[in-house]
Structure formats: structure tokens, C-alpha cells
Amino acid sequence: MTKHDNIAQGWSRDQMAARAAQELRDGYYVNLGIGIPTLVANHVPAGITVTLQSENGMLGIGPFPTEDEVDADLINAGKQTISELPHSAYFDSAASFAMIRGGKIDLTVLGGMEVSENGDIANWMVPGKMIKGMGGAMDLVAGVKKIIVVMEHCAKDGSPKFIPACTLPLTGRNVVDMVITDLAVFQRPDHTSPFRLIELAPGVTAEDVKARTTAHYIT
């Protein structure tokens, strides 16, 4: 987790991913973004079947391979080596984005640099800095049924990332349904309602969250 003054606990990156995995449902088609979201694949709840999709043209992504299982030609959209399953399917990027834009993907878990109180997300560009870039994020936030953002609550300089209005270039407007940070979970039932604080990480109080959040939310 991000180091926060006077907070001894909170969720690790892996625990944040595990919390996001609790939102998966049997039969879902799911796209996982780069970074923390990729860890969600390790926490799919027992007893349900989830099919993972990647923008570079794969449906049915298996677990991360062990060192002796690595196939350098088999990667996800974040260029990480992955494994295949007996039912895996391969296709071109046009078909992949048709699935995304056509509303065929039930849920996506994305990283975020900033999320605003009205559900805007900025996660693809920091002016003057070299980062991975857009990828399929703009298509995902426009076409997927449910958008979950997993991110650390504060930036490295301690500034909040859940804020009144995004300052970085936007990926999408009014699209985020749930925000999971190392401190808390925020959710809203629809895109006209405010976010509600629904869960606190271990060792974190509501006052801790309030002191590190400038976005408006309800409890």
C-alpha cells in the first residue's frame, strides 16, 4: 500500500485485487487492465467460471505461467506472458474491440491515476512523462457494462487521487461504478448518484479516508 502518515495497515496491491475479484459473477466475460488489475486473475472465487478477455486478441486467458511453462509468444495486452486454457480462442484486434465496443464484456478492472467524484477517470497520460499510454482503456470505459477502478488512494507525493475533478487528460466521463483503493471501497448504484463509502480496509477509519479524499462522497 501507499505509505500514509499515521495509518499502520490498509490493503496491499494483492489484497486490493482480491477485493475487486469479489465483484466477479459466474459466467462473466472480464477484461483486466495493466498493473494491479492483472492480479485479479489470481483471486477468482471458487465455484464460478469467469472468462478473461485481452484487447490483443485472446478470450480465455489462463493463470500466469511458471518459469518452465513460459511461451514468449503468448502475451496479454500489457505484454505479460500468460497461459492458455483448453477453450481459449484467438482473433484479431478488430474482433477484440468489436466485443468491447459492442457491450459483450460484463466487467473491466482498470488502474487509475485520478477518479473524480462524478465518475470521470484519467488513466492514460501524464503530460511530459513516458507511460504505457491508452491501450484499450477508452474503448473499455465506453463499452463495458461495469467499470471498477483499482488504485492507491494517494499519489507518491501524498496528494489524493479521488478528487472533485480530474486534472489529467480524461479517459472517460461519468463511467466509473466502483473505486477500490488501499484504504477503502466506494460504490454508486448508477451514474447519477454520488459515490458511497461502503467498506474500509483493516486498520483504516472513516476519518482517515476523509482526511485523504477531496472528492465528495456519502457514508
d(CA 141, CA 105): 11
Distances (CA, A) of 194 to 34, 114, 150, 168, 178: 27, 16, 18, 21, 11
Cβ contact 103:159 at 8 Å: no
Does the annotation mark 55 as catalytic? yes
Which of the residues 23, 55, 114, 117 is marked catalytic? 55
Residues 6+ apart with CB under 8 A from 212: 4, 153, 154, 160, 183
Catalogue the active-site residues: 55
